[in-house]
Structure 1
Amino acid sequence: MRKKETKSTCNLELLVISSPTPVSNEAENINRLFEAGLGVFHLRKPNSDLELLSKLISQIDPKYHGRIAIHQHHQLAAEFGLKRLHFTEMERNKTPISKLIKIKERGMKISTSLHDISALNELSHFDYTFFSPVFDSISKEGYQSSVSADFVLEKPKNSPEVIALGGIHLGNIDLVKSMNFDGAAVLGAIWNEEENRRIEILIDLIETCVKLNYR
């Protein structure tokens, strides 16, 4: 059994996004991911109401709350001491820049999502953004890659970090690095696996990131 306290120190940051639908023993699984070395967890539950999301967060060890980015019901951040807020593209377009600045002044990290890389120069107030789909999605049938195999990201000045999302797994995460992304986010690679395999896969992903950093 490999040591579970492996920590990622690579330039290519690894993030995990929650399953959008309920998962058996979900809070326990999330705690174990953090214990295994996960740095940032995105909690995305588009169909969960405030009560259900609050209950899930309450079951996650409070020592990890500062490493959770919440996608819905942002008001829960203050209640649980969350330090990260994610804005969907629709929310981003409705949120004044002045509000984003005030959120960051409170010590929060803010993220968003985009599907058109040319919009990067409009996101300077965000810490990072997801860009998807980079590969054919594992979790969304028919959600196919939007970039070519030889794609290389060129970021404009003052753009946020860009995290690759969509179809990322152990077999292609090295391409994320060569495409010049700042990080990789995985969803299906974790949650589509059997529960007893998830930690092993996460550790493999972290260790691969570390190796890629020294190439």
Structure 2
Amino acid sequence: MELIVISSPRPVSNEAENINRLFEAGLGIFHLRKPNSDLESMHQLISHIDPKYHDRIAIHQHHDLAAEFGLKRLHFTETERNKTPISELIKIKEREMKISTSIHDISALNELSHFDYTFFSPVFDSISKEGYKSSVSADFVLEKPKNSPEVIALGGIHLGNIDLIKSMNFDGAAVLGAIWNIEENQRVDILKKLLKTSKAS
């Protein structure tokens, strides 16, 4: 089962160093989501992440940075997805890029055949967003339509519940608060435990 880490939307102390350590510890995919960051700030952050990890980074904003840094993954928010012609998505895929998006309603899977994967949230009560409550029942099982992309569970996932994600039929899990809402010196250890659990699921 795939495990993805999403960046904190806010600046983090020693952020690039933290990201490098997560990759060194075995992280496969990192989503860089900074909705309030300008182009220069994003450029600065990526430039301090080891280039050998750049092809594992998906960016949510400032997609033009992908070409400069050799990034191979672009994420489209729901708003961006609805504004982007399918022909443009096909061109991006032809450049051997992975593209992802986000949904909050399972019925939207029918419209995502051009995407490699999508986040679905919130599966559990969010750790990082106060008041962002689970949208599924405890016995939820995902049923994917034909030609559906992979579906990655997001929202409130931590060591205590990540093992439930597989039984819900998700293809993977994404974590945010479980990594960034803890002490810096604990992040690598928690990531390793999350990776071990996700691989065992």
- TM-score, scaled relative to structure 1: 0.93
Q: Report the alpha carbon displacement of residue 210 of structure 1 after superposing the two structures with TM.
A: 1.9
- TM-score, scaled relative to structure 2: 1.00
SS in 1 for 2:143: coil
Q: Select which of 46, 63, 87 maps to 2:35.
A: 46
Question: Distance between the aligned counterparts of 1:91 and 1:37, measured in 2?
Answer: 31
Question: Distance between the aligned counterparts of 2:197 and 2:125, measured in 1?
Answer: 20
Question: Distance between the aligned counterparts of 2:198 and 2:130, measured in 1?
Answer: 27
- 1:107 partner letter: E
Q: Select which of 69, 74, 77 maps to 2:58.
A: 69
Q: Does 1:126 align with 2:115?
A: yes
Q: 2:10 is matched with which residue?
A: 21
Q: Report the alpha carbon displacement of residue 124 of structure 1 after superposing the two structures with TM.
A: 0.2
Question: Distance between the aligned counterparts of 1:117 and 1:133, measured in 2?
Answer: 11
Question: Distance between the aligned counterparts of 1:208 and 1:112, measured in 2?
Answer: 25
SS in 1 for 2:58: strand
Q: 1:182 is matched with which residue?
A: 171
SS in 1 for 2:158: coil
Q: Does 1:56 align with 2:48?
A: no
Question: Distance between the aligned counterparts of 2:84 and 2:192, measured in 1?
Answer: 37
Q: Select which of 84, 88, 91 maps to 1:102.
A: 91
Question: Distance between the aligned counterparts of 1:66 and 1:118, measured in 2?
Answer: 31
Task: Report Cα offsets for 1:138-194 as digits up to 9, x if no partner.
Answer: 000000000000000000000000000000000000111100000000000000000
Q: Report the alpha carbon displacement of residue 211 of structure 1 after superposing the two structures with TM.
A: 1.7
Q: Report the alpha carbon displacement of residue 17 of structure 1 after superposing the two structures with TM.
A: 0.0
SS in 2 for 1:78: helix
Specify every segment of 5 or more residues in structure 1 that has no aligned partner in the other structure, as ranges.
Answer: 1-11
Q: Report the alpha carbon displacement of residue 82 of structure 1 after superposing the two structures with TM.
A: 0.2
- 2:104 partner letter: H
Q: Report the alpha carbon displacement of residue 209 of structure 1 after superposing the two structures with TM.
A: 1.3
- 1:152 partner letter: V
Equivalent runs, 1:114-193 vs 2, <5 Å:
114-193=103-182
SS in 2 for 1:167: coil
Specify every segment of 5 or more residues in structure 2 that has no aligned partner in the other structure, as ranges.
Answer: none
Stretch of structure 1 that moved more, 35-44 or 203-212: 203-212
Structure 1 segments, 4+ long, off by >2 Å, are none
- What count of residue pairs does the alignment treat as equivalent? 201
Q: Report the alpha carbon displacement of residue 110 of structure 1 after superposing the two structures with TM.
A: 0.1
